[in-house]
Amino acid sequence: MVGDLSCGHTVARVVEQHRSGYRVDDGESIYPVQAPAALVRAGVDPLGRPAVGDWVVLSPAKPPMIERVLPRRGALARAAAGERHVTQLIAANVDVVFVVCGLDDDYNPRRIERYLVLVEGSGAQPVIVLTKADTAADADTRRLEIERLAPTAVVLAVNARDPQTALLLEPWLRSGSTAVLVGSSGAGKSTLTNTLLGIERQKTAAVRATDSRGRHTTVHRALIPLPAGGCLIDTPGMRELKLTGTEDLDIGQFADIAELASGCKFRDCAHQSEPGCAIRAALESGSLDPHRWANWVKLSGELAGARHSTANQHQRKTNEKTVTRAVGKRLSDEHGSR
């Protein structure tokens, strides 16, 4: 839904997010807008701030101002890099997430698993796009490896520069759909965007020969209309992928591990040396990949830490509010309300 509302208000979609503000599309034109301090000031819940892909209501003032964010049907988020646990929105109202990974030194099944944990919490469909298949001798082998570890996701091995790739991805980019590209710098996200557009719009750069890492050619998130009728959100490369604490490892790609654990003799089994441990039995028989299990253990620990950090932050905020109210009441009692 775009266009005018009563009293001069307008509904538009956020198509770019910058440090200095946003750009929106109201169906007729694209222009910059600002968000009020109530939405962007420090301490505001990041999930309440506008993000690329959001539908927003604009005030009739000149220049227009974002008044509120309309309800989302899903959001892709991660915990921001750094020591403080702060949720960072990547994109909102997304139907599909293309997890882009190069079949060079960028290839990392464990990182793909981490991306999928984040995607599964967003409600969007994951599609894993393995780029640089034209230069990788073992492209089919690696594609099959990813299919085994991610049975709930579609896995494609492509040449991001080949126009045929646009036809391959078209089923997820039809009219009314929104997809977002995520992956490391140099994985081929901007190259893939240019191929889907049919023009060289996004800047691209060669990766380093030593480790296949690229420079940040995409510096902000942007929603781009595609010839197929859908929308694509390109994002800067992500060097760090931290869980938000809201994810669930018992669904999606790790559902088999959760099912195995339910077969342990003891409900509180630590999967170490307890008798009747179904996890240890699966590891010993070879039916459970030890690398996947190690990554599950790592992600479980990180998830617990994120939840603990979030709980502590909420408790601190509650304590601060309690102290503030107490001080306010004391001052009111001593000096009276004014």
Instruction: Provide the CATH number for the domain around residue 229.
Output: 3.40.50.300
Structural domain for 11, as ranges:
3-71
- In tens digits, what is the pLDDT along the chain, a chain of 338 residues? 455 555 678 999 999 988 778 999 999 999 999 888 888 777 778 888 899 999 999 998 788 899 999 999 889 998 876 656 678 899 999 999 999 999 999 999 999 999 999 998 888 999 999 999 999 999 999 999 999 888 889 999 999 999 999 999 999 999 999 999 999 988 999 999 999 998 766 554 444 444 445 444 555 889 999 988 999 999 988 877 888 888 888 888 898 999 999 999 999 999 998 999 999 999 999 999 999 999 999 999 988 888 877 655 554 555 555 655 655 655 566 666 55
Cβ contacts of 84 within 8 Å, gap of 6 or more:
none
3-state secondary structure of 268: coil
Domains of the chain: total:
3
81 shares a domain with 43: no
Q: What is the pLDDT of residues 289-310, one digit of tens each?
A: 999 999 999 999 988 888 877 6
84 shares a domain with 62: no
Residue 268 lies in a domain: yes
pTM of the full structure: 0.80
Beta bridge partners of 91: 76
Residue 323 lies in a domain: no
The mean predicted confidence, pLDDT, of the chain is 84
Instruction: Provide the CATH number for the domain around residue 57.
Output: 2.40.50.140
Residue 334 lies in a domain: no
Nearest to 171 by CA among 98, 90, 233, 234: 98
